[in-house]
């Protein structure tokens, strides 16, 4: 059984970038529903799929029976993506970037400003609902985006180390249609210490 992870901070911890009410609904309603529906789909699928952790499950969607594959993709993706999302943010952000990650960002993008620009463009131009990602692929960094609750694990396009939810439910209460403003404010709460940890793990 998959379970909803606790938020590692209070609902209000990410203000003013993300308001408390949005965090409360996003974690308690949206993420919770993905976990519930994922468990229901795995239960219906039977077999030993339920024993896989969420990362392994996202990489093995082809082994899910066709009748449940869509539900596992959407809700398993939703569970993985949101679990990562909560962990890569913190109160006031955390600028503790490892030397290795800094060097990789400089090498891949020419610096943090260029990474922000490229990532911001990918997230802002993702049509409809989806995610912006910073991934590690063959030891190198790349920026990408996915629709719906898909993620880069599913098609082998990389190991995500930073992700941004650009579904309207992630920002609409405070920002309405101003997705670029949400993206800009979000950088203030990114937990680079955790992104650095994920980078060294992915490599
Ligand atoms: Mn969401």
Residues of the chain with pLDDT under 50: none
Q: What is the distance in A from the centroid of ligand 1 to the CA of 94?
A: 22
The whole-angstrom separation of Cα 141 and Cα 46 is 37
Q: What is the distance in A from the centroid of ligand 1 to the CA of 58?
A: 17
Going along the chain from its start, the domains and CATH numbers come out as 19-87 (1.10.287.990), 99-202 (3.55.40.20)
Residue ranges in the chain assigned as alpha helix (H): 20-25, 32-45, 54-59, 66-87, 99-109, 112-125, 172-175, 179-186, 192-202
153-175 tens-digit pLDDT: 999 999 999 999 999 999 999 99
Q: What is the distance in A from the centroid of ligand 1 to the CA of 81?
A: 8
Q: Which pTM value belongs to this model?
A: 0.97
The whole-angstrom separation of Cα 66 and Cα 166 is 28
Q: What is the distance in A from the centroid of ligand 1 to the CA of 150?
A: 12
The whole-angstrom separation of Cα 175 and Cα 171 is 6
Q: What is the distance in A from the centroid of ligand 1 to the CA of 99?
A: 31
Q: What is the distance in A from the centroid of ligand 1 to the CA of 182?
A: 14
What value does the mean pLDDT of the chain take? 97
Q: What is the distance in A from the centroid of ligand 1 to the CA of 110?
A: 30
Q: What is the distance in A from the centroid of ligand 1 to the CA of 174?
A: 15
pLDDT given at position 182: 98
Is the omega angle on the peptide bond into residue 146 within 30 degrees of 0, that is, cis? no
Q: What is the distance in A from the centroid of ligand 1 to the CA of 192?
A: 20
Residues with CB under 5 A from ligand 1 (ion): 165, 167, 170
pLDDT given at position 164: 98
pLDDT given at position 70: 98
């Amino acid at each position: 059984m998959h379970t909803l992870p606790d938020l590692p901070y209070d609902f209000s911890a990410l203000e003013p970038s993300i308001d408390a009410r949005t965090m409360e609904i996003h974690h308690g309603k949206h993420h919770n529903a993905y976990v519930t529906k994922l468990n229901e789909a795995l239960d219906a699928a039977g077999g030993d799929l339920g024993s896989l952790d969420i990362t392994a499950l996202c990489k093995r969607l082809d082994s899910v029976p066709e009748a449940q594959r869509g539900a596992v993709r959407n809700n398993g993706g939703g569970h993985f993506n949101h679990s990562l999302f909560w962990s890569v943010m913190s109160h006031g952000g955390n600028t503790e970037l490892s030397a290795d990650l800094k060097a990789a960002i400089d090498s891949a993008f020419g610096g943090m400003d260029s990474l922000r620009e490229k990532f911001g463009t990918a997230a802002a131009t993702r049509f409809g609902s989806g995610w912006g990602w910073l991934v590690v692929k063959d030891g190198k960094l790349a920026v990408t985006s996915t629709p719906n609750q898909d993620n880069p694990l599913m098609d082998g396009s990389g190991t995500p180390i930073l992700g941004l939810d650009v579904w309207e439910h992630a920002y609409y209460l405070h920002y309405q249609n101003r997705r670029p403003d949400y993206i800009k404010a979000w950088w203030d709460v990114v937990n680079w210490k955790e992104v650095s940890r994920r980078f060294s793990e992915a490599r």
